[in-house]
Amino acid sequence: YANRAKNIKNQPRINEDPKDALLRKFQEEIARLKEQLEGKSKHGKKSRRQRTHDGADNDESNDSGQNDEELYLKDQQDKLNEEKRSILQKKNLNETEREDMLRELEEKQQEIQREQDERREMQNKIQQMESKLITGGKDIVTHTSEQEETLLQKRRLIAEAERRHYEVQKQLEQGEEERQTINEKYTNIKEEVEDKRAKKEKLSKQLKKLEAKKLEIVEKHRIVREELEAEQREIQKQTKLFQLIIENFIPTDERERLLKRIQFDDRHNRWTLKELSKQTDQMAARPILTHSDRRPIAVHSQSNSIPEIAYFKGENIILLQLDFPSRTTRDYEDPMVPPMIQAAMGKAMKDEENIELDAKNIPLEKRKKKKKTIPSSSDTYDNYVSSTSSMSRIGYGDPHTSRSMNSARR
């Protein structure tokens, strides 16, 4: 990008009108073509100066230079033709040499013809560009405006001629209908019926044409209405945008000053600004402090007059609330336990009174069996459970024994 920017060769013009820029481009192109044409004709001029014996002046006009160019090219063409005839007349040359010489002459002749065509093309291009710039002694802007006025007049004349043609055509059709009505003479009822039928068919065809034309007009009107509505919406949108920009970015005093200067140009159908007054004795307006306060006030008063959140409002800074991210954690919740299990666990965790066992009521044999059922370190838990169940069966019927067994199982 920087390299392309360095290689830019154009010369900018400050506040240059587009028409002036176009005229300048045309003039530069004409000058370039003239230099190119003069460069191509240098060789011809040098040869002509060597051939002249009367010492003609070097400051020739463009017309005389062009005539000399044409004469020089014509002389060269004549010389080539003469050399060609002399080669054809020579008899001491073989066919190969004659063909080579003729080929060289043909190439020279083609080169001269090509140079002549290029010179004519460049001259025509220069004349076309000069005719674009100056037409009848007038500049391109004046000529363009005159052409626009002439075109508008011709369009008006064409529209008027079409309107007259339509009126004349309508009058002819009405006259034809009246003439047919007057000249109609019926010989009998049958001819009258046939004639009425033909007239009815003719009127029905005309009615169909009018209905088709009506539909076409309605469709055109609908399209035009939709285009106007779209244009109106676009204009309203642009107006709201401009109004928003004016209300938020243009100072109040500057806006009022512009509203006083603005005016509508009926001729060009657009809004323009009046020229500033050239009087030098105008009194300058009293400067204001800010957009909201016209006179200076203390910092303490200013801080008390505005809320704390609007501290940077004078600098066109918008204050927004913090945008918190979505939460990625959640509060701890205890595991849900069924009520029956919770009650059983609470009952089991309660402290119970000491249970006293009366061993006197247990027979000796049962006590021996009871001792045998005590699990050892090598017994498993299943054996211990079976022994406790047998103990419960042994103490069945005794409330003290059953309570002790139940406590042991728990």
Read off the pLDDT band of 403 (50, 70, 90).
low
Percent of the chain with pLDDT over 90: 10
pLDDT at 396 (0 to 100):
43
How far, in whole angstroms, is CA 309 from its chain's centroid? Answer: 39
Read off the pLDDT band of 393 (50, 70, 90).
very low
173 in a structural domain: yes
Read off the pLDDT band of 110 (50, 70, 90).
confident
* Domain final residue, candidates 156, 181, 206: 181
Do residue 97 and residue 68 come from a single domain?
yes
Do residue 37 and residue 92 come from a single domain?
yes
245 in a structural domain: no
User: In 3D, which of 292, 258, 289 has the Cα closest to residue 274?
Assistant: 258
- Those residues with Cβ within 8 angstroms of residue 48's Cβ, 6 or more apart along the chain or in another chain: 68, 72
Question: What is the Cα–Cα distance from 323 to 300, expressed in whole angstroms?
Answer: 32
Do residue 31 and residue 118 come from a single domain?
yes
Question: What is the Cα–Cα distance from 89 to 81, expressed in whole angstroms?
Answer: 12
247 in a structural domain: no
- Does the pLDDT at position 175 exceed 50? yes
226 in a structural domain: no
Compute the 3-state secondary structure of the chain and give helix, strand, coil in percent, each to the nearest 5.
70, 0, 30
75 in a structural domain: yes
Question: What is the Cα–Cα distance from 259 to 397, expressed in whole angstroms?
Answer: 116
pLDDT at 289 (0 to 100):
67
User: In 3D, which of 298, 318, 301 has the Cα closest to residue 309?
Assistant: 318
Do residue 68 and residue 129 come from a single domain?
yes
User: 381-394 vs 399-409: helix axis angle to the nearest 10?
Assistant: 170
Gap between the terminal Cα atoms of the chain: 91
372 in a structural domain: yes
409 in a structural domain: yes
User: In 3D, which of 43, 23, 26, 44 has the Cα closest to residue 34?
Assistant: 26
pLDDT at 186 (0 to 100):
55
- Does the pLDDT at position 409 exceed 60? no
Which of the two residues, 98 and 158, has the higher pLDDT score?
158
94 in a structural domain: yes
pLDDT, tens digit (0-9, with 9 covering 90-100), for 30-76: 787 777 777 766 555 444 444 444 444 444 444 555 566 667 667 77
Q: What is the DSSP letter of 135?
A: B
Average pLDDT, integer, range 98-107 = 76
- Does the pLDDT at position 150 exceed 70? yes
CB 402 within 8 Å of CB 396: yes
Do residue 170 and residue 127 come from a single domain?
no
The kind and range of the H/E element at 264 are strand 262-265
Do residue 144 and residue 128 come from a single domain?
no
pLDDT at 211 (0 to 100):
93
340 backbone dihedrals φ, ψ, rounded to 5°: -65, -45
Read off the pLDDT band of 236 (50, 70, 90).
very high
- pTM for the model stands at 0.24
- Does the pLDDT at position 397 exceed 60? no
Q: Which domain holds residue 173?
A: 140-181
Do residue 22 and residue 78 come from a single domain?
yes
* Domain final residue, candidates 104, 133, 162: 133
- Does the pLDDT at position 232 exceed 90? yes
* Domain final residue, candidates 158, 181, 204: 181
Average pLDDT, whole number, for the chain? 72
Task: Report the domain count for the chain.
Answer: 3
Which of the two residues, 388 and 110, has the higher pLDDT score?
110
pLDDT at 226 (0 to 100):
94
Which of the two residues, 405 and 163, has the higher pLDDT score?
163
Least confident among 71-75, 219-223, 290-294, 311-315: 311-315
Question: What is the Cα–Cα distance from 14 to 245, expressed in whole angstroms?
Answer: 27
Do residue 120 and residue 162 come from a single domain?
no
SS3 category, 138: strand
Do residue 124 and residue 35 come from a single domain?
yes
Do residue 32 and residue 125 come from a single domain?
yes
